Amino acid sequence: MKALSDQLSPVLTSFLAASHGVDVTDFEFQQTRKEFDGDITLVVFSLLRSIKANPVALGGEIGAHLVDQVAWVTDFNVVKGFLNVSIADDFYVGQLNTIAASTNYGHLAADPAKGVALVEYSSPNTNKPLHLGHIRNNLLGYSVANIIAASGQEVVKTQIINDRGIHICKSMVAWQKFGEGTTPASEGIKGDKFVGNYYVRFDQEYKKEIAVLVAKGKTEDEAKANAPLFLAAQAMLRDWEAGVPAIVDLWKTMNDWVYSGFDVTYANLGVSFDSLYYESETYLLGKTLIEEGLQKNIFFTKKDGSVWIDLTDDGLDEKLLLRSDGTAVYMTQDLGTALQRFKDNPSMQGMVYTVGNEQDYHFKVLFLVLQKLGFSWAHSLHHLSYGMVDLPQGKMKSREGTVVDADDLMVEMSQTAASIAEELGKLEGMSAEDKKALYHTIGLGALKYFILKVDPKKRILFDPESSVDFAGNTGPFIQYTYARIQSILRKAEHIELSAIVLDTIEEKEKEIIKHLMDYPALIQQAAAQHSPALVANYSYDLVKLFNSFYQNISILGEEDTSRKNFRVVLAHQVAKILKQSTGLLGIAVPEQM
């Protein structure tokens, strides 16, 4: 199904080539202003770059041709340089019938010619539980993967688990020193939270050691570098890379605790992955790449033995790739992970890294280094850079324990949804179990929509309570509209949901069909821009159009059978597209609210 503008464009291209000898394929269309007759407006002014003509005369010429050659164009009028085109009502009825006949309208099957797109998201550190910032990351990545898949490209959802490094060793050192043999099971705590508590404990004790050293006359920088806990973490990192059995065993045990906790959070959040990579494995491949880069003189070694790349000619600076003691940095593992993913997916035609904008510079360097190493696929890598999530009390800090825990937030969202839903009092007859599931669906829908409706590049000030509002631009408002339509459809079971023939329809019905016609193009645009916000706001606009229609036009109370059938079919298709569009966002829609 093509949008109205897409159906008119080829006709205009052929006409202008025959009548004016110009090749124009890009046309500017707008919605016709309410004070003028018409369904769609062609901006004639934009054609004057190619055609020397009076815009009013050219608009009249084009309008007359459309009326003569396109059966469903009924009339036109020209206002200055704007051609307003009127479309027959039965054209829209036919479009609705076509939409109704499609089982997955607007979503395309994977085209092998497009290759595979990888989308990386989550990519947590195994020293702490997932928090609100991780939620935005997961929701963005998962939704972008869904949207790209709907646009007709095979997608692999992936993540790199940052399971090694100094931050991991900090949790390990703290547990060794203060854990006294406790485990998540013995303490009744999820494994990721248990390990995260020791990451916070490390920071608390580390600050105490720094204060002692400063009191003894050390500078703060000297104190930070020589605090016993920090030296122990550095030594543990060296032992881990050297493969010391006791350290490796402890590392495996604590990481397993964390993984089990992550799995619970991902399941509750409704996200999943097709492949997992571990920094503990890919950093070795990264080291191999660095050796190759040294041999090709792409990288260089400093006097202390550290390895760098000089990117000053590219407008950047020198970048560390390997420490002087031979231990890897983030860039090391990211190089190795990128290569391993390409080896695992040789038809890869692009990869999206979902990472906060604090890492903008890192990804500029990563992509440039891979290009200098000669990998052609490096030119199709994309950093989906997103803004941070702020809270009324300020920025979150994991090591200080001032984060909003992802699990706790999801519970809070469900509780908020429960209190609001109970106040509305529309859940008569539902069992306690069904209500609990509904509250979870509403709460998650509120959370996901609040985050995804915002352009990824913008920061978010998260307000849990306003996100669960059942009116306005919220997830629950969209879910409620879907549930309302399901109620209508249940009452209309006896009505024939077949192809409809009507010569005239209401303006509000026409507006809905126009919006439904735009859905396939919207999917392609959202995929190209990696923007779930486009899908979210499309869904909200569809809901507003339907509610305006519902409040002004009777559906089941219509006496004319054909017109009643048409309106039921229209409502059914709105619900279908809402379920598809919100599904791309990872939002479920309930049958009853």
What distance lies between CA 526 and its chain's CA centroid? 10
What distance lies between CA 458 and its chain's CA centroid? 13
Does position 403 have pLDDT exceeding 80, yes or no? no
The residue written with tokens 């000089």 in the block is: 310
The dihedrals phi and psi of 328, each to the nearest 5 degrees, come to -85, 155
Helix intervals (H) in 243-314: 245-269, 279-295
Bridge partners (DSSP) of residue 348 are 116
The pLDDT of residue 1 is 54
What distance lies between CA 33 and its chain's CA centroid? 33
Does position 11 have pLDDT exceeding 90, yes or no? yes
Residue type, 533: A
Query: pLDDT band at residue 402, thresholds of 50, 70 and 90?
Result: low
Query: pLDDT band at residue 398, thresholds of 50, 70 and 90?
Result: very low
Q: Which of 1-10, 71-80, 429-438 shows the highest mean pLDDT?
A: 71-80
The residue ranking higher by pLDDT, 389 or 153, is 153
The pLDDT of residue 76 is 97
The dihedrals phi and psi of 54, each to the nearest 5 degrees, come to -70, 125
Beta strand extents in 359-455 (DSSP E only): 381-386, 389-390
Query: pLDDT band at residue 396, thresholds of 50, 70 and 90?
Result: very low
The pLDDT of residue 495 is 66
Fold of 4-87: Gyrase A; domain 2 (3.30.1360)
- Note whether 250 and 190 are within 8 A (CB): no
The residue written with tokens 């995929």 in the block is: 527
The pLDDT of residue 465 is 76
Bridge partners (DSSP) of residue 87 are 73
Of 287, 303, 286, 302, whose CA–CA distance to 340 is shortest? 286
The pLDDT of residue 461 is 87
The residue ranking higher by pLDDT, 369 or 424, is 369
Does position 333 have pLDDT exceeding 60, yes or no? yes
Does position 394 have pLDDT exceeding 80, yes or no? no
Query: Radius of gyration over alpha carbons of the chain, in Å?
Result: 29
Bridge partners (DSSP) of residue 405 are 131
Q: Where are the domains of the chain?
A: 4-87, 121-400, 406-584
The residue ranking higher by pLDDT, 424 or 10, is 10
Per residue, what are the HEC states of 208-220?
HHHHHHHHCCCCH
**What's the rounded mean pLDDT across residues 475-486?**
95
- Note whether 148 and 155 are within 8 A (CB): yes
**What's the rounded mean pLDDT across residues 340-353?**
95
Residue type, 266: Y
Q: CA-CA distances (angstroms) from residue 287 to 216, 336, 520?
A: 40, 7, 44
Query: pLDDT band at residue 393, thresholds of 50, 70 and 90?
Result: low
What is the end-to-end Cα distance of the chain in Å, rounded?
32
Helix (H, G, I), strand (E, B) or coil at 275: strand
With a CB cutoff of 8 Å and minimum separation 6, the contacts of 542 are 512, 515, 516, 574, 577, 578, 581
- Note whether 128 and 544 are within 8 A (CB): no
Residue 292 tokens, joined: 């190759």
Report the percent of the chain where pLDDT is more than 90: 84
* CB hemisphere CA count around 144 (13 angstroms): 31
The residue written with tokens 């000053």 in the block is: 312
- Note whether 106 and 85 are within 8 A (CB): no
pLDDT in tens, 414-472: 998 888 877 776 677 788 899 999 999 999 999 999 999 999 999 998 877 788 888 88
The pLDDT of residue 143 is 98
The residue ranking higher by pLDDT, 544 or 422, is 544
Q: 262: how many CB neighbours lie within 10 A of its CB? A: 22
Mean pLDDT across the chain: 93
- Output DSSP code: residue 328: B
**What's the rounded mean pLDDT across residues 240-244?**
92
Assess whether the region 4-87 and the region 406-584 belong to the same CATH fold.
Answer: no
- Note whether 560 and 500 are within 8 A (CB): no
The dihedrals phi and psi of 23, each to the nearest 5 degrees, come to -110, 95
pLDDT in tens, 112-144: 999 999 999 998 999 999 988 899 999 999 999
Report the percent of the chain where pLDDT is more than 70: 97
Residue-by-residue DSSP string for 19-41? HH--------EEPPPTTSS-SEE
**What's the rounded mean pLDDT across residues 284-312?**
96
Sheet containing 318-322: give its strands across. Answer: 300-301, 307-310, 318-322
The residue written with tokens 């993984």 in the block is: 259
The pLDDT of residue 400 is 47
The pLDDT of residue 498 is 66
What distance lies between CA 586 and its chain's CA centroid? 9
- Name the burial class of residue 68, with classes exposed (0-12), middle (13-18) and buried (19+) by CB atoms within 10 angstroms of its CB: exposed
CATH of 406-584 among 1.10.3720.10, 2.40.50.140, 1.10.10.10, 1.10.730.10: 1.10.730.10
The residue written with tokens 């704007």 in the block is: 82
| CATH superfamily, region 121-400 | HUPs (3.40.50.620)
- Note whether 132 and 396 are within 8 A (CB): yes
Of 37, 33, 62, 64, whose CA–CA distance to 50 is shortest? 62
